[in-house]
Amino acid sequence: MPSAFNFEASPFDCLDAYERQIVQDGVVIAYFPKDQVILDAGAAATHLYVLIKGFVRQESGGETIASYGPDDTFDGRGLMAGRTSSRFVATEEVLAYELSHEAVNALIARNAAFGALLFADLSNKLDAIAGRQGRHELQSLNLTRADQAGLRPPHFVDADTDVLSVVRLFQAQRTTNVIVRDMTATPPRLGIFTATALQRAVLEGTPLDRLPVGAVANFNLVCVRASDPVGDALTVMVRHAVHRVVVTSDDDATQIVGVLEALDLFSFLSNHSYLINREIAEADDLSGLRTAAARIEPLIALLHRGGTRVGQIAALVQALNAKLFERAWAFIAPPDLVANSCLIVMGSEGRGEQLLRTDQDNGLLLRDGYEPPEQLQAVCDSFSQALSDFGYPPCRGGVMLSNPAWRGSERDFSDRARDWLLRADGDSLMSLAIFLDAHAVCGDTGLLETVRGRIFAAANDNDVRLARFAAAIDAFAEDENWWSRLWAPGPSLAGRLDPKKQGTFPIVHGVRSLALQAHVRETSTAARLDALVAAGQIDRGLATDVLESLHFFMRLKLQAGLEEIDRGQAVSGSVDLARMSSLDRDLLKDTLDVVKRFRRLLRMRFRLDAL
């Protein structure tokens, strides 16, 4: 009976003493030599595996899609389905606990939190990741309070209020329920009336403006306390077959602090994105937006540590940021300015490849002939300050709409872009590169498409200018064999890797250059690669390798940044080579080789050696 089982690791950290004993009684230790197949695709799943030592890779279709290290669990999905859908192979010598199917079923039956965490941990492990040591796991359901899971504020009405007035309140407050106070009862009582109950009210037959809400309200409230675990709230919903619970104060059960909806709870258990989107949509001022913005970075950490692919995280961040920026602009800018302009974001934000917050990259296009308000500068300053307050630092290069150089009419921007292309010096080409990644956030998106079309027209049949633009792929080039030290033992691993310089920038700018040459209007690297493949400009196999390499570098940078945040350090954007796992070093070698192959293609395509 093993006694050193790590009950601090998710999902086992939510078990009570009795449930821990179930684990102790249901596990044995197994040994697997290097390269042994632990589970094969299609095999009957009989155990949940918890790694003690070593690493295991998950393969599908001949490719590694995930990796597991000490304290990681697999294959919960196969255990629930009865058969495994992937192959699991020991990357090195492995020691693992085997927890029986019967024990897992017993834990799920007793502990809803365990089942939820087990599913959340395993359902999204799709990336090739390794080295889970030092990571924080998903927030434990037995530590998260019900009042931390996105409560909706309570709205109170008296029992004699007519239902029609309540429906108007639903619309005005953007809510689907009200708390009904019946002060005529002995003792006074509280109930709830929901949008679902409105159907019963209609069928009652009494005109809604004469039907008191107390006559159709439910006075059997299903409640949890504010400090109750959200796992308990989920259990209560399931037990009572309800879609919401009323959350009361710990000190006074008659004091209602909020209402917890099932949709909000499930969103909290998965990735919180719905809650953030709702907070942005329902914010009444910039302060409300600031609260929503503060939740985005923890969401990124939660998704990453749950195994979500980095490309999916970046796309979600772009969507949330766009909503955030659009709402902030609507609060700050006059409606006439919003209607006659296009707010754009650029750089990694424009490409949909930003993860942890970097500096602002935005601008403002104005309709030709539109006379902006006299307070335009003050409006733009206020917007840049608002984003700074949200946690997006000012751009050190001044690429912000508060800088007059990054706002102007369609004609102004077209002339600037043409000048950037004609001058072809370092600063000009960098400005052009930034603008080519522009993505419309709100306003008249046609303004951006007009300017983009003029840029493509200016770049027509000018191979020399395109070559100078593409030549920036070597801006950070170093000895391309430097990475050979990764495979030597000991001190050779000292130092740091800059994922942007060594990988992200040459990939992003190389694809951007090909897109400019081929007049591809998409802005994300993934969409540009798809369009280039469709146009016959790049081989599908290389395009796939390039995109996977980009996502690998993004993931390395994100992982390192989150670890620095956990240690209370400033995010440096670099990776400590000594802290990399052997699997990540193998993947790094492969991705750097892809960068080398891609650079060779670009040198031939743009004849860079002739410059």
Q: Which of the four pLDDT bands, split at 50, 70 and 90, describes residue 216? A: very high
* % of residues, the chain, pLDDT over 70: 87
Q: Which of the four pLDDT bands, split at 50, 70 and 90, describes residue 308? A: confident
**Residues 451, 417 contacting (CB under 8 angstroms):** yes
Give me the residue spans of the domains in the chain: 12-123, 146-270, 285-458, 471-610
Does the model's pTM come out above 0.95?
A: no
- Can you give the pLDDT at residue 495? 67
**Residues 44, 82 contacting (CB under 8 angstroms):** yes
pLDDT for 485-528, tens place per residue? 443 333 444 467 888 888 899 999 999 999 999 999 999 999 99
Among 52-66, 269-283, 334-348, whose mean pLDDT is lowest? 269-283
CATH code linked to domain 12-123? 2.60.120.10
The secondary element (H helix, E strand) that includes residue 260 is strand 256-261
- Can you give the pLDDT at residue 246? 95
- Can you give the pLDDT at residue 72? 78
- Can you give the pLDDT at residue 488? 38
Q: Which of the four pLDDT bands, split at 50, 70 and 90, describes residue 14? A: confident
**Residues 218, 191 contacting (CB under 8 angstroms):** yes
Over range 260-281, report the average pLDDT. Answer: 74
* 65-74, 250-259, 307-316, 477-486 — most confident range: 250-259
Nearest CA among 284, 316, 288 for reference residue 301:
316
Over range 287-301, report the average pLDDT. Answer: 89
- Burial label, 521 (beta-carbon count in 10 A; 0-12, 13-18, 19+): middle
Which amino acid appears at position 435 of this protein?
F
Over range 78-93, report the average pLDDT. Answer: 85
Q: How far apart are CA 228 and CA 272, in angstroms?
A: 19
Q: Which of the four pLDDT bands, split at 50, 70 and 90, describes residue 553? A: very high
Strands (E), 75-142: 87-90, 94-100
- Can you give the pLDDT at residue 256? 94
Half-sphere exposure of 499 (CA within 13 A, CB side): 25
Q: Is pLDDT of 585 > 60?
A: yes
Among 57-61, 361-365, 396-400, whose mean pLDDT is lowest? 57-61
Q: What DSSP state is assigned to residue 67?
A: E
- Can you give the pLDDT at residue 492? 43
Q: Which of the four pLDDT bands, split at 50, 70 and 90, describes residue 156? A: very high
Among 29-38, 123-132, 194-203, whose mean pLDDT is lowest? 123-132
Mean pLDDT of the chain: 84
Q: Which of the four pLDDT bands, split at 50, 70 and 90, describes residue 269? A: low
Q: Is pLDDT of 32 > 60?
A: yes
The fold of 285-458 is Beta Polymerase; domain 2 (3.30.460)
* % of residues, the chain, pLDDT over 90: 44
Q: Which of the four pLDDT bands, split at 50, 70 and 90, describes residue 270? A: low
- Burial label, 222 (beta-carbon count in 10 A; 0-12, 13-18, 19+): middle
Over range 87-114, report the average pLDDT. Answer: 87
Pull the structure tokens for residue 178.
Answer: 């009200």
Q: Which of the four pLDDT bands, split at 50, 70 and 90, describes residue 243? A: confident
pLDDT for 410-421, tens place per residue? 999 999 988 998
Higher pLDDT, 118 or 18: 18
Q: Does 12-123 match 471-610 in CATH topology? A: no
- Can you give the pLDDT at residue 118? 66
The secondary element (H helix, E strand) that includes residue 38 is strand 37-39
The fold of 146-270 is CBS-domain (3.10.580)
Q: Is pLDDT of 380 > 80?
A: yes
Higher pLDDT, 201 or 610: 201
CATH code linked to domain 471-610? 1.20.120
Q: Is pLDDT of 90 > 90?
A: yes
DSSP assignment of 498-559: -HIIIIIHHHHHHHHHHHHHTT----SHHHHHHHHHHTTSS-HHHHHHHHHHHHHHHHHHHH
- Can you give the pLDDT at residue 487? 38
Over range 281-303, report the average pLDDT. Answer: 88
Q: How far apart are CA 231 and CA 112, in angstroms?
A: 6
- Can you give the pLDDT at residue 130? 32
**Residues 276, 320 contacting (CB under 8 angstroms):** yes
- Can you give the pLDDT at residue 161? 95
Rounded to 5°, angle at Cα 350 from 363 and 339 = 45
Phi, psi (degrees; rounded to nearest 5) at 178: -135, 150
- Can you give the pLDDT at residue 67? 67
Higher pLDDT, 263 or 555: 555
Q: How far apart are CA 259 and CA 282, in angstroms?
A: 16
Q: How far apart are CA 474 and CA 204, in angstroms?
A: 75
DSSP assignment of 358-373: ----EEEEE-TT----
- Can you give the pLDDT at residue 128? 32
- Can you give the pLDDT at residue 458? 82
- Can you give the pLDDT at residue 392? 92
- Burial label, 252 (beta-carbon count in 10 A; 0-12, 13-18, 19+): exposed
Over range 195-215, report the average pLDDT. Answer: 88
**Cα 537 → chain centroid:** 31
Q: Is pLDDT of 446 > 80?
A: yes
Half-sphere exposure of 116 (CA within 13 A, CB side): 24
Say which residues have a Cβ less than 8 Å from residue 410's Cβ, sequence separation at least 6: 365, 366, 367, 368, 447, 450, 451
Residue with tokens 């077959």: 241
Pull the structure tokens for residue 383.
Answer: 């917007």
pLDDT for 314-324, tens place per residue? 888 888 899 99
Q: Which of the four pLDDT bands, split at 50, 70 and 90, describes residue 195? A: confident
- Can you give the pLDDT at residue 123? 28
